[in-house]
Chains A and B, each alone.
Chain A
């Protein structure tokens, strides 16, 4: 079944490159996403067999991250069908309000193909047990998603694509050195040679040289941390996530950052098994707090609302790292937070996409009155902000509170105080921007026909349906976590945190 999970999106992607007519290609995208989600759903019932001699297997963390990725991808594909339709009808030239940039779109076939291949590579990251294979998959996600960032072909997205490509490739190359360090550590082990699979490494963890293990984790953290968006290695993130089309940003923020987090956690679980858990944990806490602080700093009076959402992703990656670094209950909260953050961030990016489509500008100083012009989108925008900022009754409140409890349980009051302070700063910073955009009389629109369209036409079903469903899930998770999800989260936290 693991092979099916990889081959269905992979082959569909290759097929999408060659299919000429737009209609069948969009059907192909949705069908492939549906097939992938169905397979992942059956994996909940029947655990898939390990494949490739134990190189690929689905354990608890892999299943959780696969589910998040698959659900988000399905929502994005449903959104994409309508989105690509409007992009096509708008003709070959668009004008953006800020710089009057006329641009052409990339070929839709390349877009669809890269999206599906992107799903296949993310799946591969989640199911890899061999660290070398995992490295290949992570670099492949960078290469598959770079053309997606460059869909709107203009100067800013080109700049964003170059930064993304360069910075992430350099980071991931450093992670390769970490892989080699681990291989050296495995070679110094007396006895039969140890394969670079997580299972074997964890089993022999006690006998591996601690100096090489620590050096390897350092390179893992810096390397894969670049991909995850931890400060100060996050500099590509605001550019790439704000210039990409919104559904791509939703996938990048909601699914890809999680996969990078998973790779770091594989290293952390190994070090915990070797008794060096406090070393890796402290590093994770440090990077987590720095990320939250940097994000809080840059969210205040941010001029571009998609950049604001990108910095919010940096902040939440910091929260995730902090939770896993502390361990115990905080680790459980961190794993639950991956689910909550991904769903909420997707809702916010879809809403931002709708706003951008009508107002044709990303400026937070110009866009006003979204609740009047786009009522459902405005609702999603405001509710999404409340959710991501950690207010009840939404899901992120529960997970962030759990992390806080874990920090206090671990007897680190200073960290708890800094955590709360930074959350508050981000809340205030985002609130001022979000509220100004949502309320007030409508203004800031570029095209005069924005008012002329009847409300139903302004918000077609494809643009609000998927985010509303995701938003409902976030609301439900704030009140009731299904037991089957709770056990999976607990199990995943135990595997990854090593506690």
Chain B
């Protein structure tokens, strides 16, 4: 069981690097969807003994929402805005990959400082979750296209949710559904806003949204 889990966690790290290094929007959307599926698998495997129907339903529902519905929303927004690639991001793609390595090291370091409960999930999950979160943050900060920023937000939520599913299992059903609903509506509203931006500005370069400043 642990070998499967570790393999999936390594795959997760690789998806993060793909997100950092890819300039095609469709590839990035696809990567985030794959991340959601992998995370669903991790949550199911990391449960250990307590695999109830409720947990399975929740994980499957969440995975479907994040791997199918939300990527479809963002793909539609990107298509309407006629955007295919991220051109000239703030941080170049090679530099992003190198910075990603640094972030992985940082996540591993921080994970050693936080002692985990013994009956929790696998030890390796904490640095991977932190890494996914940091990569999401970096994508939000360094990319120009609004769709990429929404994707970064999804990746960040993926990382945080991964951590939550593995270690904070006591969260009641209502809260988990609430969190899922919130993320869903957030990306939905972001999609609508991107649609408005592309109609109003004829581009979705958030870099150029800079009229409001001091």
Query: Is B168 on the interface with A (CB-CB < 8 A)?
Result: yes
Contact A161 B193 (CB under 8 A): yes
Q: Which residues in A have their C-beta under 8 angstroms from that of B197?
A: 158, 162
Query: Is A50 on the interface with B (CB-CB < 8 A)?
Result: no
Q: Which residues in B have their C-beta under 8 angstroms from that of A186?
A: 170
Query: Is A206 on the interface with B (CB-CB < 8 A)?
Result: no
Contact B209 A140 (CB under 8 A): no
Q: Which of B137, B167, B174 contacts A180 (CB 8 A)?
A: B167
Contact B214 A180 (CB under 8 A): no
A154 and B209 CA atoms in complex are apart in Å by 12
Smallest CB separation, B7 vs chain A (Å): 24
Q: Which residues in A have their C-beta under 8 angstroms from that of B168?
A: 179-180, 183-184, 187
A209 and B116 CA atoms in complex are apart in Å by 10
A209 and B115 CA atoms in complex are apart in Å by 9
Instruction: Provide the A113-133 mask, 1 if CB < 8 A to any CB of B, else 0.
Output: 000000000000000001011
A153 and B200 CA atoms in complex are apart in Å by 9
Q: List the one stretch of B62-70, B81-89, B156-164 in contact with chain A.
A: B156-164
Instruction: Provide the B4-22 mask, 1 if CB < 8 A to any CB of A, else 0.
Output: 0000000000000000000
Instruction: Provide the A172-207 mask, 1 if CB < 8 A to any CB of B, else 0.
Output: 010011011001101110000101100000000000
Q: Which residues in B have their C-beta under 8 angstroms from that of A146?
A: 189, 193
A166 and B163 CA atoms in complex are apart in Å by 22
Q: Which residues in B have their C-beta under 8 angstroms from that of A298?
A: 214
A177 and B157 CA atoms in complex are apart in Å by 9
Closest chain B residue, CB of each to CB of A301? B214
Q: List the one stretch of B26-34, B39-47, B95-103, B178-186 in contact with chain A.
A: B178-186
Query: Is B128 on the interface with A (CB-CB < 8 A)?
Result: no
Closest chain B residue, CB of each to CB of A195? B170
Closest chain A residue, CB of each to CB of B140? A170
Query: Is A169 on the interface with B (CB-CB < 8 A)?
Result: yes
A150 and B196 CA atoms in complex are apart in Å by 10
A188 and B179 CA atoms in complex are apart in Å by 24
Query: Is A409 on the interface with B (CB-CB < 8 A)?
Result: no
Contact flag A176-B179 (CB < 8 Å), given A146-B189, A155-B200, A162-B193:
yes
A132 and B185 CA atoms in complex are apart in Å by 17
Query: Is A286 on the interface with B (CB-CB < 8 A)?
Result: no
Q: Which residues in B have their C-beta under 8 angstroms from that of A153?
A: 196, 200
Closest chain B residue, CB of each to CB of A303? B214
Closest chain B residue, CB of each to CB of A138? B182
Smallest CB separation, A236 vs chain B (Å): 10
Contact A132 B157 (CB under 8 A): no
Q: How many A-B contacts at CB < 8 Å in the complex?
A: 128
Contact A156 B212 (CB under 8 A): yes
Q: Which residues in A have their C-beta under 8 angstroms from that of B181?
A: 136
Contact A176 B193 (CB under 8 A): no
Query: Is A315 on the interface with B (CB-CB < 8 A)?
Result: no
Q: Which residues in B have their C-beta under 8 angstroms from that of A155?
A: 200-201, 211
Contact A140 B182 (CB under 8 A): yes
Q: Which residues in B have their C-beta under 8 angstroms from that of A196?
A: 170-171, 175
Chain B interface extent, by class = 35 or more
Closest chain A residue, CB of each to CB of B130? A177
A65 and B160 CA atoms in complex are apart in Å by 30
Q: Which of B133, B170, B179, B209 contacts A193 (CB 8 A)?
A: B170
Query: Is B142 on the interface with A (CB-CB < 8 A)?
Result: no
A263 and B175 CA atoms in complex are apart in Å by 16
A143 and B186 CA atoms in complex are apart in Å by 6
Query: Is B125 on the interface with A (CB-CB < 8 A)?
Result: no
A347 and B132 CA atoms in complex are apart in Å by 45
Contact B214 A135 (CB under 8 A): no
From 209 to 267 in chain A, residues with beta carbon under 8 angstroms from any chain B beta carbon are: 209, 211-212, 215, 238-239, 242-243
Q: Count A interface residues, CB 8 Å.
A: 50
A242 and B171 CA atoms in complex are apart in Å by 38
Contact B167 A183 (CB under 8 A): yes
Q: Which residues in A have their C-beta under 8 angstroms from that of B117?
A: 184, 187-188
Contact B171 A132 (CB under 8 A): yes
A68 and B117 CA atoms in complex are apart in Å by 42
Smallest CB separation, A19 vs chain B (Å): 22
A242 and B185 CA atoms in complex are apart in Å by 25
Query: Is A307 on the interface with B (CB-CB < 8 A)?
Result: yes
A133 and B174 CA atoms in complex are apart in Å by 8
A212 and B115 CA atoms in complex are apart in Å by 8
Contact A132 B175 (CB under 8 A): yes
A170 and B172 CA atoms in complex are apart in Å by 23
A465 and B200 CA atoms in complex are apart in Å by 37
Contact B209 A136 (CB under 8 A): no
Smallest CB separation, B45 vs chain A (Å): 19
Contact B163 A177 (CB under 8 A): yes
Query: Is A87 on the interface with B (CB-CB < 8 A)?
Result: no
Query: Is A139 on the interface with B (CB-CB < 8 A)?
Result: yes
Query: Is B59 on the interface with A (CB-CB < 8 A)?
Result: no
Contact B114 A215 (CB under 8 A): yes
Contact B115 A238 (CB under 8 A): no
A238 and B185 CA atoms in complex are apart in Å by 25
Contact B114 A211 (CB under 8 A): yes
From 183 to 214 in chain B, residues with beta carbon under 8 angstroms from any chain A beta carbon are: 185-186, 189-190, 193, 196-197, 200-201, 206, 209-212, 214
Q: Which residues in B have their C-beta under 8 angstroms from that of A154?
A: 200
A180 and B209 CA atoms in complex are apart in Å by 34
Contact B211 A159 (CB under 8 A): yes
Query: Is A160 on the interface with B (CB-CB < 8 A)?
Result: yes
Q: Which residues in B have their C-beta under 8 angstroms from that of A130?
A: 175
Smallest CB separation, B140 vs chain A (Å): 6
Query: Is B35 on the interface with A (CB-CB < 8 A)?
Result: no
From 63 to 111 in chain A, residues with beta carbon under 8 angstroms from any chain B beta carbon are: none
Q: Which residues in B have their C-beta under 8 angstroms from that of A187?
A: 117, 120, 167-168, 170
Apart from A132-B175, A153-B200: 6 A-B pairs, beta carbons within 8 A: A132-B172, A132-B174, A142-B186, A166-B149, A180-B160, A209-B115
Counting from the closest, the 8 A-B pairs by CB-CB distance are: A132-B175, A183-B168, A136-B178, A159-B209, A139-B182, A239-B212, A180-B164, A180-B168
Q: Could you pull out 25 A-B pairs where Cβ atoms are within 8 angstroms?
A: A136-B178, A136-B179, A139-B186, A140-B182, A150-B196, A153-B196, A154-B200, A156-B211, A158-B201, A159-B210, A160-B212, A161-B193, A165-B193, A169-B190, A177-B163, A179-B164, A179-B168, A180-B160, A183-B168, A184-B116, A184-B167, A187-B167, A193-B170, A238-B214, A307-B214
